[in-house]
Structure 1
Amino acid sequence: MRPTVLVVQPDPRVGLDRFEGWLEEADLDLEVVRPYDGDDVPPADRHGGIIVLGGYASAHDDELHPWLESIRALIRDAAVIEVPTLGICLGGQLVADALGGRVTVGDGPSEIGAVQLDLIDVDDDALFHDLGPTLLVAEHHYDRIARLPDGARLLATSDRYEHQAFRVGRAMWGVQFHPEVSPARFERWVADSRAAAPDETGRLTAAVEDLVATDAVIESGSAVLARRFADIVNGHRRIPAAATTTAGAHR
């Protein structure tokens, strides 16, 4: 029987995109729940893995989206029973927030486009090991993870945003970037940003052009992350015992 990954989609505009094909090719079934459309978020123990996607909401928009607390509860339960979990952008912010970190409005302009991350302390990390000292990724966010949960291990940072990827415990990851996004989907997001901030048209257009030009590199690294997550869910990739330590933890 193929393991099933629960995919929590907080926004109709932010789906699995390229991750869908990569995960299905890796022998995973996917169950997508859409709390914005009235779907209940099921318990963490019913699935082999969990992915929480991004969205246009803020991690603290509970008055507008009261179902955000059900996602935090899912994350807390998954952390306790060690269900492999990946939070992406808003999902990563919810991982931090649910487990005792802090999410705030970003400093300065939004981080949009292709961004180079510096990888830190990843030698024994099941997702990020051997990806090199740097990783090129797609970014599209306004809020920031200002403080990681206690005991979390920082895995990636950038010039503007310190907390780009982190792990809590053995099998709970949060990333600020979008490893799932294709250039076509990214262009739709930027079109929305351009409509909301027409004075930033030049910067946003340049961000799209840069991302499209570097997408082959971005896609390569993103595919590795997707397949490694699938291997963890499938039990093909053992999470190193050293990953249970908090050496190198940042707060």
Structure 2
Amino acid sequence: MRPTVLVVQPDPRVGLDRFEAWLRQLGVDLDVVRPYDDEVVPEVGVHDGIIVLGGYMNALDDERYLWLASIRALIRAAAATDVPTLGICLGGQLVADALGGQVTVGDGPSEIGAVRLDLTDTDDDPLFCESGPSILVAEHHYDRIARLPDGAQLLASSDRYENQAFRVGRAVWGVQFHPEVSPGRFERWVADSRTAAPDDADRLTAAFADLVANDALIESDSAVLARRFADVVRTHRHARASASVGAGAER
């Protein structure tokens, strides 16, 4: 049977985008839950992996989005049971916050467009081990992962934001960037940002043009991460199935 990844989508404007086709082509089924549409975030159970997507809200906005607490609980349970988990942008901030790190809201300049990340200590990391010394990514965020959880391994940094990617334990990752996003969806985010901050319109327009110009490389680097995450999910499913068979044989 194909492994299944639970996808938590906090915002209708921030979907799986490229990751959906990539993961399905890699033999992974997807079970999407939408808490913004009153769908309940499940507990860790039958799924072989978890992805927590981004959103326009901030990671500390529990008064307006009560279900953020449920996402954190899911992340903590996944970390405790080594269920492969990838938090993207808001999702990465929720990983950091749920596991004892610190997120600050509106802290520093926004990071929007194509950004090169420097990778460190990734040779043995299951997700980033094939990514080389640097990758080009799509960024669109205003908040900061200010401190990683205790024991977390820092994997990538940018000039403006140190904590761009990290792993907690064996199989829980948080990334500040958007490996899933296509230029079409990114353009809609930039349009929303221009509406909210018209004085910043020129910078945002230039950032989008730069992202489009570099999209072939961004897409290539991001596809590697999707493939590696699918590999981790399959490995986890196989190990869990083997343990179940072994436990049955002992009875």
TM-score bracket for the superposition, by shorter chain length: over 0.9
Letter in 1 for 2:163: H
Structure 2 vs 1, CA of residues 238 and 217 (structure 1 numbering), >3 Å: closer, same or farther? farther
Q: Partners in 2 of 1:144 and 1:4 — Cα distance?
A: 30
Shift of 1:108: 3.0
Q: Contact 2:84–2:236 at 8 Å: present in 1 too?
A: no
2:88 aligns with: 88
Q: Residue 103 of structure 2 contacts residue 145 of structure 2 at CA under 8 Å; is this kept in 1?
A: yes
CA distance in 2, matches of 1:9, 1:24: 17
Q: Is the 8 A contact 2:154 2:163 kept in 1?
A: yes
**Residue 31 (1) aligns with residue 31 (2):** yes
Shift of 1:46: 1.9
Equivalent runs, 1:79-118 vs 2, <5 Å: 79-118=79-118
Identity percentage over the alignment? 77
- State whether structure 2 residue 229 is matched by structure 1 residue 205: no
Structure 1 unaligned spans of 5+: 240-251
Cα displacement (A) at 1:54: 0.2
CA contact (8 A) 1:45 1:78 kept: no
Match of 2:51 in 1: 51
CA contact (8 A) 1:45 1:83 kept: no
Q: Determine helix, strand or coil for the equivalent of 2:10.
A: coil
Aligned residue identity for 1:53: L
Q: TM-score, normalised by structure 1?
A: 0.93
* In structure 1, distance between residues paired with 2:152 and 2:175: 13
Which letter maps to 1:82? D
CA distance, structure 1, for counterparts of residue 107 and residue 7 of structure 2? 30
Once the two structures are TM-superposed, the CA of residue 105 in structure 1 deviates from its matched residue by 2.1
Give aligned pairs, total.
239
Q: 1:228·1:237 contact (CA, 8 Å) conserved in 2?
A: no
Contact 2:48–2:236 (Cα < 8 Å) also in 1? no
Q: Secondary structure at the match of 2:136?
A: strand
- Distance in 2, matches of 1:211 and 1:44, equals 36
SS at match of 1:210: helix
Distance verdict in 2 for CA 1:237–1:29, change over 3 Å: closer
Amino acid paired to 1:206: A
Aligned counterparts of 1:36 and 1:18: Cα–Cα separation in 2: 21
Deviation at 1:132, TM superposition (A): 1.5
Judged with a 3 Å threshold, the aligned counterparts in structure 2 of structure 1 residues 133 and 106 are, in CA distance, closer, same or farther, namely farther
Residue in 2 aligned with 1:164? 164
TM-score, length-normalised on structure 2? Answer: 0.93
Question: What RMSD in Å do the two structures reach over aligned CA positions?
Answer: 1.4
For 1:116-164, what per-residue CA distance to the aligned partner results, in whole angstroms no more than 9, with x for missing partners? 0000100100111131211100000000000000000000000000000
